[in-house]
Each structure stands twice: as structure tokens, then as C-alpha cells.
Amino acid sequence: MKKSTKVVYNHHINSNIAVTYIISNKKLTLVAALGVTIGIAIFIFMNSMAKGFDKSSAAAIFKTVPHIRIYKDAQISRNLLPENYHNTIPLIINPKIVAQSPNIINPKKIIETLQQQPDVTIVTSEVNTDIFINSGKTQIRGVAMGVDIKQADKMFNISSFVVDGQLNDLEKYPNGIFIGVGLADKMSLKKGDYIQVNSSKGISKSMKILGLFQTNNSNVDKKQTYIHINTARQLLAESNDYVSDIYVNINDYDHPETYAKRFGKLTGYVAEDWKTANATLMAASNMRRIIISFISLSILIVAGFGIYNILNMTIMQKINDIAILKAMGFKGKDVVRIFVQQALLIGILGIIIGLIAATLLISRLQHVYIGGDIGYFPVHYEPTMYIRGIIFGFIVTFLSGYIPAKKAANVDPVAILRK
């Protein structure tokens, strides 16, 4: 084609037309934008809430569970010969747990190695053992966590849920013990009382309650106790380098699986990440996440239908305009741009108001007290959810604008102008 004219200016006439349509159709625009607003607000709010729930339940878990726990698994006895070994007759034996001490050999070296791994924040060793607690005539089963106090406090922030006493006192009083408020309640104990602690090895110790803690997890508060790691070794009649568990915390606690795998290989022991250790909780959280994603996306898509409908309506109303524009030399893609821009402008308006609405919702509910384990409503401003909301919002508005716009682009001007 011969170019007889030089095109030098871009007057953005498509945008100009899109804006004019929006301004002259304020009511419809507002209704469509409101759909997006509600969709975006609910999407961001619900997803932030899901994340908040996950965070608060993780925080509760991390009061007692490390990101990765390394321990020695009990072994099941196996046939000495592999099955079908040279066509010999297989020997049938009863599989049973091999009597073996569950200690980790050379824990110092392993701890040092782990500390040098990238992303590892804290490594601490523990000696954990079941105990019986006697006070007067009552006897209760519990668990003694023999901890390296400084490291364990760094890892679990135990001091933050100690409600009575000083955790550091465990260093000074080797026969001191911290018990949960649930246990104290059940046995009517208080700080300063003495209790009799019996281990599975038959060793008995009189211990002084140095303080109480409260995790708000009633199971933990009723069973768990903290003692000095050396005291725990004594209860098990073990030497001073006996370690039953090595706990590791990492930076990226949300993805512990690969680290666990690596540490397992590195140490030769079982390395269990907190997600595996809390599989039921994780399943519930995944379920929650799926349901919330599903619902919030559905709401966004419904908002998209709103835009789709309103744009379809506008296009029906403007079918004459479209025919005229095409007759005057507007191309199919110009028509697409006019209506997609209209959709996007509606979308931007809806998204902006939606972001404000989501922020208001979150700021309100943050201050609602629920009580129990949860405390305040666990929802925070989650930038990733805001970004996701904006992205999904744009995708939905683009698609719901593009589909009718494409139809408009295919309008045959002759068919319209003849009438």
C-alpha cells in the first residue's frame, strides 16, 4: 500500500472514547466496579486470614516443636539373610523392636556440622524422657524436656510463656523444674513446692518447682515439664554426652521438607520436619487454604461476570457507534482496545476501592478479641495477598472485557448501517 500521508501524531483516540463511555455511563460503571471491589476485598481479606491462621497455628506449634527434629529411630529386627537368597529356605522370625539405646552418637560433631549449614539459625540438643510425678498421693505421667536452657529459650522463646518464675534459675538449681499451669492445677501445686519425679529407669528425684508456664495448648500445659539437660541425663542414668534429640531451626520454616531430607542424609539419623510431625494440623490447614482459595476466586470470577455482562450491554447499546467507527477506518483491534480499556478502567477503579476496603476490614478485625488459644483475630496485612489480589483482579477484568470486546470487533458495519 502506498503511504500517501505521514502519520505523526497519536491522539489516543481509543482511550478517549473508552473514557467518554465510562463517564457517560457512570451508574453502570459504578455497579461493575463495585462487583470488583467486593471480589478483591473478600479475596485479600480471606487469604490474609488463612495466612494469619497458619501463622498463629505455626507460632503455637513452635512453642514446643522445632522446625526439624533429629533423633534415632527404633529399629525393627530383620532377617539376617535377604529373602530368596540363593534359593535358601527363608527363615521366619517375629519382627520386634531391637533393644537399643536411643542416643545420638557423637552429638557434638553433628551439632557443629549442622551449625555450619546454610539457613540454619539455631541448633540445640535435648534429652527427653517420660516421667511420673508424685505429690502426696497423686501420681501423673508427664514428659521431661531436658534442655540446654539458653539455646532452648532462643529456639522456643520459653521465657515468653513462663507465667511465674525465672527460666534462668534452672541453671542455678540443678534439681529445679518448670511445670505447665494445667499440671499445677491438677495437682494443686505452686512455685516453691517440691515434687517427687520418677524416671522409667527407676531413678527418683525430689525436685523444686521453680516456676510455671502456659502455652495455651492444654495438652502441653498438662504434661510437659522443663528441667536441666544434665538432670534429665541423671534420670536416665546416662553419661554427660548423652543426647536423645537434636533440634534445628531454619530461616525458611515454611519449607522445611528439603532441609529435613538433607539433614537426614548428613547425620544418618531420622530428621523429621514440623509439618510431617504435625500432619493432621497441616492437612487441616491445607484444606482451609483450598476452600478459601476456591471461595475467594469464585467471588472474583462472579465480579468478572459482572463486568462481562455490563460490557456486553454497553456493546449492544453502542453497536451503532461501533459500526460508524469501523466505517470511518477504526480497525478491529481499535474496537477491542476501546472496550478492553473500558473494562480495565472499571477494574482499576474496583481494585483501588477493593484494596481500601480490604485494609479497613483487616484493621477492624485485627482488634477483635476471640480468646482461647488464638487471642486476637489472627489476620494481618499480607503484602503477597494484596499483590495476588491485584494480579487476579486484573486477569479477571481483562478476560471479562476481552471476550465481549472481541465480539464487538467482529461487528459487520454494513449489517448495522443498512438498518
Question: Binding residues for another protein, per CB under 8 A?
Answer: 1-2, 4-11, 13, 16-17, 20-21, 24, 320-321, 323-334, 413-414, 417-418
Q: Which is nearer to another protein, 22 or 303 (CB)?
A: 22
Q: Which of 63, 213, 336, 251 is nearest to 259 (CA)?
A: 251
Q: Which is nearer to another protein, 177 or 335 (CB)?
A: 335
Q: Which is nearer to another protein, 114 or 336 (CB)?
A: 336
Q: Which is nearer to another protein, 248 or 411 (CB)?
A: 411
Q: Which is nearer to another protein, 24 or 116 (CB)?
A: 24
**Residue recorded with cell 478517549:** 16
Q: At its nearest, how many Å lie between another protein and the CB of residue 349? A: 19
Q: At its nearest, how many Å lie between another protein and the CB of residue 2? A: 7
Q: What angle do CA 57, 63, 68 make, to 5 degrees?
A: 90
Q: At its nearest, how many Å lie between another protein and the CB of residue 14? A: 9
Tell me how far apart the alpha carbons of residues 246 and 213 are, in angstroms, rounded to a whole number.
23
Q: At its nearest, how many Å lie between another protein and the CB of residue 318? A: 9
Q: Which of 272, 226, 265, 276 is nearest to 246 (CA)?
A: 272
Q: Which is nearer to another protein, 19 or 282 (CB)?
A: 19
Distance of alpha carbon 405 from its chain centroid, rounded? 40
What is the largest distance, in Å, between two alpha-carbon atoms of the chain? 108
Q: At its nearest, how many Å lie between another protein and the CB of residue 387? A: 36
Q: Which is nearer to another protein, 5 or 280 (CB)?
A: 5
342: left (phi over 0), alpha (psi -120 to 50) or beta: alpha
Q: Which is nearer to another protein, 19 or 352 (CB)?
A: 19
Q: At its nearest, how many Å lie between another protein and the CB of residue 316? A: 15
Q: Which is nearer to another protein, 5 or 94 (CB)?
A: 5
User: Quick count: other Cβ atoms within 10 Å of Cβ 146?
Assistant: 26
Q: At its nearest, how many Å lie between another protein and the CB of residue 322? A: 10
**Residue recorded with cell 523444686:** 208
Q: At its nearest, how many Å lie between another protein and the CB of residue 35? A: 23
Q: At its nearest, how many Å lie between another protein and the CB of residue 406? A: 14
Residue 10: φ, ψ to 5°: -115, 110
